[in-house]
């Protein structure tokens, strides 16, 4: 491993020389050698479930006429949310993926393990592992010799899932009517099971409950009546059990009008939002396109009790302007994030048993594309895309009823403070 890293660093150094003397006379904007030589990180067992960001290792080169930026691997940034600061970072020369955050798991010894699993396009697929009691990132080559895998060019996505498990569930839509689920075992660091789910259409939002059961939603159509149905199904790796129509919603009622050219004028659409061992929650949107396209006249949360499949409804105000974000469970209480257009971000406490909600916080709209829960805090994290080298972080503390904006995480500022 050390020999391989030395070779990679030598290649990186050679790249600098190539840019210096090749046509165009591009020269490095600064000396990057210190940054790229840091292939070890401090032991992070002293931290409380830190965030691990992945940033492109961007190198800027200048010529007389313009500037070019090259990406050579990744920086893994270890962020300590308790001190609101970067604890350490490590350079990973061979990770050229697009993942913004590393997946967090726990192994059989209850130690945190973080993984970068993005896409496979090579003959020997590889993943990257950062262990809390380790000091260097491990590059692991995997075998994907499964009959369900027909295309070796895979781009993985992760369903919504609880952290700190000794497995990851990944999925890859390799066809319009076919989705593969992958069971990644943390302890063996390998994909040990693959399940192909065939459907009439692409699967909607995919969720995984705390027992590792995969939940999905697909839309089907009756060829005679043209009516559409939203079917909720699941697959359980533990028992190899699949049920494609665990629950079925009719999207058009008997009074709905069908136009030969425009389709259904009034209809419902469903999407999965949350699942645990007690409840399954869907977002229901009712459309009326008699006046204009995509007019949402009603929006609600459909709460399904998994004991008996009974349903209750929680209505969301301002259906055409409001958006429903994540539903989170903190200390056995449920919360939902609802935003009013681009104006406000609201946090509601949910009573799923009685199907009620109570607003506990609102603020000006907070841009975010990821939420994380730590202790009593809901973290809102905005990293614009996989190429961004900065992130906005803020949180709402449920117990203290307090919102706080953290100092913006800017990787270049950190490097400059460290003299790198």
Joined together, the tokens standing for residue 343 give 């104006």
pLDDT category, 65, cuts 50, 70, 90? low
Q: What is the pLDDT of residue 347?
A: 95
Q: What is the pLDDT of residue 97?
A: 83
Whether the pLDDT of residue 86 is over 60: the answer is: yes
Q: How far apart are CA 32 and CA 50, in angstroms?
A: 26
267-306 residue pLDDT tens: 999 999 999 999 999 999 999 988 777 789 999 999 999 9
Q: What is the pLDDT of residue 299?
A: 95
Residues 60-77, mean pLDDT to the nearest whole number: 79
Contact, 315 vs 300, CB < 8 A? Answer: yes
Q: Is 317 left (phi over 0), alpha (psi -120 to 50) or beta?
A: beta
Q: How far apart are CA 36 and CA 51, in angstroms?
A: 21
Q: What is the pLDDT of residue 20?
A: 46
Can you give the residue range of the structural domain that contains 259? 199-322
Within-domain flag for 289: yes
296-346 residue pLDDT tens: 999 999 999 999 999 999 999 988 778 899 999 999 999 999 988 778 899
Within-domain flag for 417: no
CB proximity list for 293: less than 8 A, separation 6 or greater: none
Helix (H) or strand (E) holding 16: helix 2-21
Between strands 296-305 and 279-288, the pairing is: antiparallel
Residues 9-18, mean pLDDT to the nearest whole number: 52
Q: Give the position of tokens 């070890």.
A: 40
23-40 residue pLDDT tens: 456 677 778 889 999 999
Within-domain flag for 226: yes
Q: What is the pLDDT of residue 146?
A: 80
Within-domain flag for 366: no
Within-domain flag for 312: yes
Joined together, the tokens standing for residue 288 give 């009326």
Overall size of the chain counted in residues = 420
Within-domain flag for 282: yes
Number of domains in the chain: 1
Question: Which contacts qualify for 186-189: CB closer than 8 Å, 24 or more apart?
Answer: 186/105, 186/106, 186/107, 186/113, 186/115, 187/107, 187/108, 189/127, 189/129, 189/140, 189/142
Within-domain flag for 268: yes
Residue predicted with more confidence, 21 or 270: 270
Q: What is the pLDDT of residue 21?
A: 45
Q: How far apart are CA 184 and CA 192, in angstroms?
A: 6
Question: Which contacts qualify for 132-136: CB closer than 8 Å, 24 or more apart?
Answer: 132/43, 132/44, 132/45, 132/47, 133/43, 133/45, 134/41, 134/43, 135/40, 135/41, 135/42, 135/43, 136/1, 136/39, 136/40, 136/41, 136/90
Least confident of 141-150, 201-210, 374-383: 141-150
Residues 242-267, mean pLDDT to the nearest whole number: 88
Q: Which of 123-132, 152-161, 210-219 has the highest mean pLDDT?
A: 210-219
Percent of the chain with pLDDT over 90: 57
Nearest to 69 by CA among 389, 420, 416, 400: 389
Whether the pLDDT of residue 8 is over 60: the answer is: no
Q: What is the pTM assigned to this prediction?
A: 0.87
Q: How far apart are CA 371 and CA 376, in angstroms?
A: 13
Please state, rounded to an integer, the average pLDDT across all residues of the chain: 86
Between strands 178-185 and 266-275, the pairing is: unpaired
Contact, 94 vs 72, CB < 8 A? Answer: no
Q: What is the pLDDT of residue 72?
A: 86
Within-domain flag for 52: no
Q: Which residues, listed in sequence order, are joined to residue 283 by a DSSP beta bridge?
A: 271, 301
């Amino acid at each position: 491993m050390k020999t391989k890293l030395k070779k990679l660093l030598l290649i990186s150094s050679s790249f600098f020389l190539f840019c210096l003397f090749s046509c165009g006379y591009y020269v490095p904007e600064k000396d990057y050698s210190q940054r790229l030589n840091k292939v070890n990180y401090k032991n992070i067992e002293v931290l409380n479930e830190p965030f691990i960001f992945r940033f492109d290792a961007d190198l800027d080169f200048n010529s007389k006429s313009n500037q070019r930026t090259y990406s050579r691997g990744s920086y893994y940034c270890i962020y300590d949310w308790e001190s609101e600061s970067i604890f350490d970072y490590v350079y990973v020369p061979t990770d050229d993926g697009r993942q913004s955050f590393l997946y967090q798991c726990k192994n059989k010894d209850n130690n945190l393990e973080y993984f970068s699993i993005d896409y496979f396009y090579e003959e020997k697929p590889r993943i990257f592992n950062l262990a809390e009691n380790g000091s260097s990132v491990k590059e692991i080559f995997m075998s994907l010799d499964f009959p369900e895998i027909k295309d070796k060019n895979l781009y993985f996505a992760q369903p919504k899932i609880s952290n700190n498990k000794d497995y990851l569930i990944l999925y890859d839509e390799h066809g319009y009517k076919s989705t593969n689920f992958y069971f990644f075992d943390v302890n063996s660091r390998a994909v040990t099971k693959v399940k192909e789910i065939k459907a009439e259409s692409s699967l909607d939002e995919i969720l995984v409950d705390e027992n590792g059961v995969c939940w999905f939603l697909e839309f089907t159509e009756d060829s005679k009546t043209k009516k559409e149905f939203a079917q909720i199904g699941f697959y359980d790796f533990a028992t190899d059990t699949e049920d494609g129509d665990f629950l079925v919603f009719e999207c058009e009622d008997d009074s709905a009008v069908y136009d030969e050219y425009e389709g259904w004028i009034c209809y419902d659409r469903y999407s999965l939002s949350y699942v645990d061992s007690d409840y399954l929650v869907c977002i229901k949107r009712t459309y009326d396109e008699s006046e204009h396209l995509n007019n949402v006249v009603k929006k609600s949360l459909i709460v399904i009790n998994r004991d008996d499949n009974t349903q209750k409804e929680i209505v969301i105000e301002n259906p055409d302007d409001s958006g429903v974000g994540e539903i989170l469970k903190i200390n056995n209480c449920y919360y939902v994030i609802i935003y009013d257009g681009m104006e406000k971000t609201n946090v509601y406490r949910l009573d799923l048993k009685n199907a009620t909600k109570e607003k506990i916080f609102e603020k000006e709209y907070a841009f975010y594309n990821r939420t994380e829960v730590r202790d009593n805090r809901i973290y809102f994290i905005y990293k614009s895309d996989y190429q961004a080298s900065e992130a906005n972080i803020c949180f709402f503390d449920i117990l203290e009823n307090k919102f706080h904006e953290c100092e913006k995480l800017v990787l270049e500022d950190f490097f400059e403070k460290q003299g790198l």
